[in-house]
Structure 1
Amino acid sequence: MKKNLNYKKSKLLKIAFALLVAILFTSCNATKSVIASGEASDKLSVKQVIKQHQKNNADFNTMQARVRIDLIQGENEQGYTFGFRMEKDQVIWLNAPLGLARMMITPEKVRFYNKSDNTYFDGDYKLLSDFVGVDLDFTKVQNILLGQAIYDLKDGPHQVSVSGNSYALSPKDQNALIELFYLINPSHFKMDSLQLQQLQKKRMLQVDYASYQKVNKQVLPQNIRIIAVDDTNEVTIAMEFKSVALNDAVRFPFNIPSGYKEIIIK
């Protein structure tokens, strides 16, 4: 069954809305907002900026939270709070109450089901990649959620300059098809912003981090704003992480109910 890109996006939005039906309560560890008090210096080398960014990647085994999501497309806006669990490098799991809808992302697959229309998807990252206009995999999705660079900064030389009060980091040799820029915070060396453009395809992905929070000595994003543009289509996703808890025992139950209709993307 063939579907055009606009249909794919509207279908994914529908599924996302179903996933974000209500609140999953989780335990809450002590958290506090991180105040960015550092000052960017042009004396810091590109190697030092990269080293600090990689050093400050959050170190934990599991994470769970309540996440407020606002989805904006044109004049349409909807917001919900839903449950979030992660086992770092292994699983990202979303859940609506009573198992009405559920999503599980692993390095190999993207899977979800929706009881409101008895449908399910069991496939690769093409659906998410088409949605944001950038080729995604598990590591890129996880890094966006954790405020880390989506590509390995050791792959090729980079350059750095001071922009406002951030370190502007970019590859020395930009890909002819993709332009990539990171803005790194001088206080905790997590991302202030990610900007990725595919000019020929009129695609753009921008991820802004308005604030961070400290949980068990780990610095994690608190407010993330994702803007995805594909030609004239634009989708904005605003995320607020609440009640974040690290290293608790968590489960990732996922079973697609029998009799559901598969969503096939070609």
Structure 2
Amino acid sequence: MYLKGRHLIIFINLLFLFVFSCKSVKTINPGNANLNLSVKQVIKKNTDNEARFKTLSARVKLDIFQGENVNGYTVNLRLEKDKKILLMSSPISLVKALITPEKVSFYNKLDNTYFEGDFKYLSDLLGIDLDFQKVQNLLLGEALFGLKDNTYNLSVNDKEYILQPKKQKALFELFYLIHPAYFKITSQQISQPQQERHLQIDYLEYQEVNKQMLPAKIKVIAVEGTNETNLDMEFKGVSLNEDLRFPFKIPSGFKEIKL
């Protein structure tokens, strides 16, 4: 499940930087839990709370934990929903990545290298058919595969709904945990027992941003065998629905790398 090598680590770090808070935000009040709904009702309430906006810009703080190594970064993010994601290292754009439905691209001025390609490599690593929409859903706190695209068994623990596809995929098992008051996903998990892989995205806190309910803190846990990588994200200075530019051009003379 891991991207090997320095270039790959840079790319996946950038890829996961995509959820936010805002200048005028407030923490979501948990409210009164309702644990007596049907599968259909839970899915409808979750769908009603999907984030709806046109563009977003933000400053994202990321801490990466790999074994005893800890690295911290700040990244500037620009997003045009369903169309493109631009990520730039801060304070100067030494590393820049552009993600669109057609391809993923990034370049690194530290060693004059670049990459351009589709989602196949990431799909092979995760064992799922990955595309732009799935990446966007994951990072926005929406169901990775879309709750309307499957039928689910519903169960309840002491504080959350648990949705599990009635027919799991051949290569992996999928689970969603949904809050019973504001009906956003609190965790989505993909397990591949045969490969000893586990990907878990925990949405630790939600905030209201311009009347939109969005993740405020996220923890990503990626496990393969005995190796584990954790990504902790905090999002600041978010603006929604502004006119944004997405400048991206690979400098001439850079060397292409293959992932």
TM-score (ref. length: structure 2): 0.90
Matched, 1:75 2:68: yes
| Structure 1 stretch displaced more, 224-233 or 61-70 | 224-233
5+ residue gaps in structure 2?
Answer: 16-21
Question: Is the 8 Å Cα contact of residues 211 and 221 (structure 1) preserved in structure 2?
Answer: yes
Amino acid at match of 1:188: Y
**2: CA distance between counterparts of 1:160 and 1:7?**
34
Q: Does 1:45 align with 2:38?
A: yes
97, 109, 114: which is aligned to 1:120? Answer: 114
Q: Which residue of 1 aligns with 2:171?
A: 177
Q: 1:91 aligns with which of 77, 81, 84?
A: 84
90-99 or 126-135: which moved more?
126-135
1:165-211 deviation digits (Å, cap 9, x = unpaired):
11101111222321111001122211100011011111111000110
CA contact (8 A) 1:29 1:246 kept: no
1:226 aligned onto 2:220: yes
Answer yes or no: is 1:197 the counterpart of 2:191: yes
Shift in CA distance, 6/99, structure 1 to aligned 2, threshold 3 Å: closer
The amino acid that maps onto 1:105 is I
Letter in 2 for 1:12: L
Aligned partners of 2:39 and 2:253: how far apart in 1?
A: 55
Query: Is 1:11–2:7 an aligned residue pair?
Result: yes
Partner of 1:216: 210
Contact 1:133 1:203 in 2 (8 A): no
3-state DSSP of counterpart to 1:141: helix
Mapped pair 1:64 → 2:57: yes
What is the deviation of 1:132? 5.2
Task: Tell me how far apart the structure 2 counterparts of residues 38 and 123 of structure 1 sit (CA, whole Å).
Answer: 46
Counterparts of residues 99-178 of structure 1 (less than 5 Å): 99-129=93-123, 134-178=128-172
Matched to 1:85, the amino acid is: R
**TM-score for the superposition, normalised by structure 1:** 0.88
SS at match of 1:264: coil
> Does the C-alpha gap of structure 1 residues 133 and 69 become closer, same or farther in structure 2, counting only changes over 3 Å?
farther
Structure 2 counterpart of 1:244: 238
What per-residue deviation string (whole Å, max 9, x for no partner) do you get for residues 142-187 of structure 1?
Answer: 1111111000222231111112311101111222321111001122
What secondary structure does 1:154 align onto? helix
Question: Which ranges of structure 1 fall in alignment gaps of 5 or more residues?
Answer: 21-27
Supply the distance in 2 between the matched residues of 1:137 and 1:15 (Cα, whole angstroms).
15
Q: How many residues align?
A: 252
Cα distance change of structure 1 residues 182 and 221 upon mapping to structure 2, 3 Å threshold: same
Matches within 5 A, 1:255-266: 255-265=249-259
State the partner residue of 2:19. none
Give distance in 2, aligned partners of 1:7 and 1:48.
38
Partner of 1:25: none
- Identity, in percent, stands at 53
Q: Which amino acid aligns with 1:109?
A: K
